[in-house]
Amino acid sequence: MRIDLNRAAQLLCDNDNILILSHQNPDGDTLGSALALTFALRKLKKTVSVYCTDGFPENFKFMYNGEKPCIPDTSEPYIVAVDVASPVLLGDKMSDYYDKINLCIDHHSSNTDYAEYTLLESDSAATAEIILKLIDFLGAGIDTQIATCLYTGISTDTGCFRYSNTTAQSHRFAARLIECGIDFSEINRQMFEVKSVSRIAVEQYVLNSVRYFHNKKCALIYITKDILHKTGSNENELESLSSVPYQIKGVKIGITLRERENGYKISVRTAKSINAAEICAQFGGGGHLRAAGCFINGGLEEVIQKISEAADKALSENEKLKKQKSL
């Protein structure tokens, strides 16, 4: 059942033993939201545990500050999921909890309404924005630690206030959190600039092997298992790498290949006038107008040829259309 902020605050007030869950492969928003809510509820003298199936990653240390992921083994807690659009995102090991979520707080319009109660605000750029409002309703107050967690959630989900999901509210909340005395420049440095040695090594490989097609209007990068092995990096370190080819000036189709069992997982980003989902649909994939994905069976060169031909065709058709329009 969908509920509003007031009702969600009431439900939290009515329970004293609370477990807060983040989604697997945690990002700044799910962890920042879970930790901020944990710290705020403890200020109201509640017993609160916070858990994520993949633990708390090292790069978010400044948020959790010694807090450890924990599921209480005594009593039945009131279970709250934050930033979790679907129960499977809690992770395989959490399958016992899929139908036991009492309250879900989320901003994904794709939320499957799996929880008993759902507080959903899809116009919020981050769940952390909803948590901020909820903490206000609860009257718990926002200290520097809570502000650090909330700011991290908003900043990471908006790509440091650059993505189109960023709203005036995101900026207003950020301003308020900055007034709490957080070290926002260090947070953003940690979240957007600092990279591990192995990540830099992967980038080096990838940038050295960019391929261009169709008068450099299409750029393609690939990450093979061999590259991961050579650089000592893992899948988690590849985040945002797929935006690299589309960053190149003049490129209208950016393609990223990642090696999987028997083939390559492909992500396609496109300029406004080109349909990424249409390109991927030719290979049984899909997605959005400007960002889509698919899987192609085969070896590296074979897969590159197939996807680059599809891109080439899309670019040619687009040029034809443009010509017709200008005639």
Smallest Cα–Cα separation from 177: which of 131, 216, 221, 210? 131
Residues whose CB falls within 8 Å of the CB of residue 124, separated by 6 or more in sequence, listed in order: 107, 130, 167, 169
Residue 122 CB, shortest distance to Mn ion, in Å, is 11
- Record the tokens describing residue 139, joined without a space: 């009257």
Other C-beta atoms lying within 10 Å of the C-beta of residue 325:
7
Residue 27 CB, shortest distance to Mn ion, in Å, is 7
Applying CB under 5 A, the span of 63-71, 127-135, 248-256, 257-265 interacting with Mn ion comes to: 127-135
Any idea what DSSP says for residue 115?
S
Nearer to Mn ion, 27 or 259 (CB): 27
In the window 10-39, what residues touch Mn ion (CB under 5 A)?
A: 29
Applying CB under 5 A, the span of 93-101, 122-130, 258-266, 278-286 interacting with Mn ion comes to: 122-130
Q: Does residue 209 contact residue 304 with C-beta atoms inside 8 Å?
A: no
Q: Does 83 engage in binding with Mn ion (CB under 5 A)? A: yes
Q: Does 157 engage in binding with Mn ion (CB under 5 A)? A: yes
Q: Does residue 263 contact residue 298 with C-beta atoms inside 8 Å?
A: yes
Q: Does 259 engage in binding with Mn ion (CB under 5 A)? A: no
Applying CB under 5 A, the span of 34-42, 77-85, 234-242, 259-267 interacting with Mn ion comes to: 77-85
Residue 149 CB, shortest distance to Mn ion, in Å, is 13
The structure tokens 């496109």 sit at 270
Q: Does residue 295 contact residue 282 with C-beta atoms inside 8 Å?
A: no
Report the distance separating Cα 224 and Cα 248, nearest Å: 21
Q: Does 129 engage in binding with Mn ion (CB under 5 A)? A: no
Smallest Cα–Cα separation from 152: which of 25, 24, 30? 30
Nearer to Mn ion, 69 or 153 (CB): 153
The residue at minimum Cβ distance from Mn ion is 29
Other C-beta atoms lying within 10 Å of the C-beta of residue 70:
11
Report the distance separating Cα 174 and Cα 106, nearest Å: 19
Nearer to Mn ion, 37 or 268 (CB): 37
Nearer to Mn ion, 105 or 220 (CB): 105
Nearer to Mn ion, 288 or 313 (CB): 288
Nearer to Mn ion, 29 or 203 (CB): 29
Q: Compute how many residues bind Mn ion; rule: CB under 5 A.
A: 4
Binding site for Mn ion (CB under 5 A): 29, 83, 127, 157
